[in-house]
């Protein structure tokens, strides 16, 4: 009788609205989460089995190529051409020894090298679908791969790319010509994605943020269908792919090098036209009014919440600047803390050719006499780089007809990735004609590294016009080459790069076309420009390739530790 009473009471409670609410709030999410985990891990198991054959093939071919490469080096050595067989990486052996001494290599527990971790021979998958683009993001990729090769010579580096028109040999030649980075060929493998069009903005004319992010899931599935690596690192900013990897392979360590957040608090705030800080900045500035504006605001906030969920799953997160770190922390930080992610978001400044520029470009009284009235802007021809602002500013500067403006020229140096970029260059050429500065502006498209060196050695001023440039590798190159920088008063150029040294300026900041024109006037009218150039070069040493390699390896070691501890 007592048992029947208890059962009846439990049944009655189960039928109450409160019980239904508790079941909905706690039971359904738990069941959904369990179902999602089961489906995800099952699909992950399927992908591992599917790609086991390719994995074995990559390991075998890598071993064969390594033996052939070693035999070739021995042959060259015997023919007294050892100088040609030396590693032509921009990081010398001496520099690498310094990196190893300074780096926190080995296990995360004691910082000492352990033989098992040092000899780690797993596969690192680098997700970078546009690896042949030739921009600052690609320099990070290749410098990261080179550092990984040096630290773990037995590891295999796999790059997931959509650049079908370039084979491995041509790709690595371009890397060396463009960035002066020598990649060890045997331990690098390219896997070609067939669904890259899913992440192109042209594929998603509406709801672009969401469309590209969902498209990246297709691209991520494409990548894992080719090979499931031991460690997965995204170096382009596809957080949704990292989230997918954790659903499919919960035990696989993941890393992210974030150049900029897909959506930031600045973007959200820019929709509000009354926001004095950012309400007039960006391509969507002030659009958060009316029904359509409110809908856009709701859509962006919903996307930000989803983006936060994806980013919170990443084991190791690196950002390229203080600005990016701050915004990623705001978006991902709270949820990462809730998930008890133990590794803090780290700033790893991108590698810049500081040492090479310092070695090839003199900054002294003699070189000062060879400087010309040239303002150079090194940037890909993308809309956010705001070339139009710089052209308007330069036209205003030329129209001032001051002594500083006489004979001054503006050189736009940048890579052209596709037809969209080509059309943008055409539009900029039309603008140059309209502003009547055609004879003062030079377009240097797809410039090689020697071409870039040439302009940096003869130019007087380095320019950057992007609002909230997340870092600004080109600006560091200006400083390393001794140029006087005139940059946008925001983002990385403001917070990290063009800062004071010993209490004295290394360049100028501007926001409007008029302010930029005034900055050009100041830079070309300095009574002692050489002292500013020397301070700028000192400032640039914080962003050397050696510093990047040291910090990259400290973070990469965390991923290897996670992997080896779970093996």
Residue 431 binned pLDDT confidence (cut-offs 50, 70, 90): very high
User: What are the helix and strand counts (H, E) for the chain?
Assistant: 23, 13
Average pLDDT over all residues of the chain = 85
- Say how far apart CA 141 and CA 179 lie, in whole Å: 11
Distance of alpha carbon 146 from the chain centroid:
16
pLDDT higher than 60, residue 280: no
pLDDT in the model for residue 264: 78
CA distances from 193 to 125, 157, 537, 553 (A): 13, 16, 41, 27
pLDDT higher than 90, residue 66: yes
Sign of CA dihedral 550, 152, 318, 179: positive
**How much helix, strand and coil, in percent to the nearest 5, is found in the chain?**
55, 10, 30
The residue-averaged pLDDT of 541-556 equals: 94
Instruction: Write the CB contacts of 306 (distance below 8 Å, at least 6 apart in sequence).
Output: 213
- Say how far apart CA 409 and CA 372 lie, in whole Å: 9
- Say how far apart CA 539 and CA 505 lie, in whole Å: 10
Residue 471 — φ and ψ, nearest 5°? -140, -85
Residue 297 binned pLDDT confidence (cut-offs 50, 70, 90): confident
Q: Give the three-state DSSP class for 554.
A: helix
Instruction: Write the CB contacts of 396 (distance below 8 Å, at least 6 apart in sequence).
Output: 513, 514, 517
pLDDT tens-digit series, residues 407-427:
999 999 988 878 888 999 999
pLDDT in the model for residue 100: 61
Q: What is the secondary structure of 168-212 as a DSSP string?
A: HHHHHHHHHHHH-----GGGEEEEE-S-GGGG-GGG-SSSHHHHH
pLDDT tens-digit series, residues 185-201:
999 999 999 999 999 98
Q: What does the angle CA 181 – CA 126 – CA 472 come to, to the nearest 5 degrees? A: 55
The residue-averaged pLDDT of 320-339 equals: 91
- Say how far apart CA 298 and CA 303 lie, in whole Å: 9
Q: What does the angle CA 347 – CA 349 – CA 350 come to, to the nearest 5 degrees? A: 135
Helix 208-226, helix 290-311: angle, nearest 10: 30
pLDDT higher than 70, residue 282: no
Residue 67 binned pLDDT confidence (cut-offs 50, 70, 90): very high
User: The tokens of 258 are what?
Assistant: 């974030």
The model scores a pTM over 0.85: no
Contact criterion met (CB below 8 Å) for 215 and 181: no
The residue-averaged pLDDT of 457-484 equals: 93
pLDDT higher than 80, residue 283: no
Q: Which residues are bridge partners to 255 per DSSP?
A: 233, 316
- Say how far apart CA 407 and CA 370 lie, in whole Å: 15
Helix 473-480, helix 529-540: angle, nearest 10: 130
């Amino acid at each position: 009788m007592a048992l029947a009473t208890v059962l009846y009471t439990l049944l009655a409670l189960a039928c109450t609205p409160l019980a239904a609410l508790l079941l909905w709030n706690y039971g359904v999410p738990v069941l959904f989460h369990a179902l999602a985990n089961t489906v995800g891990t099952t699909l992950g198991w399927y992908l591992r089995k599917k790609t086991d054959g390719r994995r074995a093939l990559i390991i075998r071919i890598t071993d064969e190529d390594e033996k052939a490469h070693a035999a070739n080096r021995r042959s060259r050595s015997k023919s007294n051409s050892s100088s040609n067989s030396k590693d032509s990486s921009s990081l010398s052996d001496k520099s690498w020894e310094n990196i190893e001494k300074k780096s926190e290599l080995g296990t995360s527990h004691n910082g000492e090298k352990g033989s098992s971790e040092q000899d780690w021979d797993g596969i690192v998958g680098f997700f970078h679908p546009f690896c042949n683009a030739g921009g600052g993001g690609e320099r990070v990729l290749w410098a990261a791969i080179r550092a990984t090769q040096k630290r773990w010579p037995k590891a295999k580096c796999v790059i997931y790319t959509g650049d079908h028109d370039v084979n491995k040999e041509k790709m690595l030649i371009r890397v060396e010509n463009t960035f002066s980075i020598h990649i060890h060929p045997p331990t690098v493998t390219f896997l070609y994605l067939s669904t890259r069009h899913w992440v192109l903005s042209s594929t998603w004319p509406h709801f672009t943020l969401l469309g590209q992010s969902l498209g990246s899931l297709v691209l991520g599935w494409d990548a894992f269908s080719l090979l499931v690596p031991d460690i997965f690192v995204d170096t382009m900013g596809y957080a949704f792919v990292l989230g997918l990897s954790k659903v499919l392979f919960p035990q696989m360590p993941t890393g992210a090098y974030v150049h900029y957040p897909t959506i930031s608090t600045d973007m959200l705030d820019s929709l509000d036209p009354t926001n004095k800080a950012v309400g007039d900045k960006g391509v969507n500035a002030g659009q958060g009014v009316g029904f359509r504006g409110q809908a856009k605001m709701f859509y962006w906030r919903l996307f930000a919440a989803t983006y936060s969920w994806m980013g919170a799953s990443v084991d190791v997160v690196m950002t390229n600047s203080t600005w990016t770190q701050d915004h990623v922390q705001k978006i991902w930080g709270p949820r990462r803390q809730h998930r008890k992610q133990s590794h803090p978001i780290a700033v790893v400044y991108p590698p810049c050719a500081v040492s090479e520029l310092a070695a090839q470009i003199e900054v002294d009284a003699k070189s000062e006499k060879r400087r010309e009235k040239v303002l150079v802007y090194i940037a890909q021809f993308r809309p956010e780089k705001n070339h139009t602002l710089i052209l308007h500013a330069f036209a205003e500067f030329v129209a001032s007809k001051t002594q500083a403006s006489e004979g001054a020229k503006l050189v736009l140096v940048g890579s052209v990735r596709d037809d969209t970029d080509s059309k943008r260059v055409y539009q900029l050429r039309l603008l140059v004609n309209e502003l009547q500065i055609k004879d003062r502006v030079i377009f240097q498209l797809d410039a090689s590294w020697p071409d870039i060196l040439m302009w940096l050695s003869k130019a007087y001023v380095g320019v950057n016009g992007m609002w909230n440039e997340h870092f600004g590798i080109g600006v560091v190159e200006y400083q390393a080459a001794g140029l006087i920088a005139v940059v946008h008063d925001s983002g990385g150029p403001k917070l990290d790069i063009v800062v004071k040294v010993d209490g004295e300026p290394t360049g100028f900041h501007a926001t409007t076309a008029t302010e930029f024109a005034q900055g050009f006037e100041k830079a070309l009218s300095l009574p002692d420009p050489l002292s500013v150039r020397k301070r700028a070069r000192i400032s640039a040493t914080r962003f050397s390739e050696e510093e990047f390699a040291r910090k990259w390896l400290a973070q990469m070691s965390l991923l290897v530790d996670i992997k080896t501890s779970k093996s």
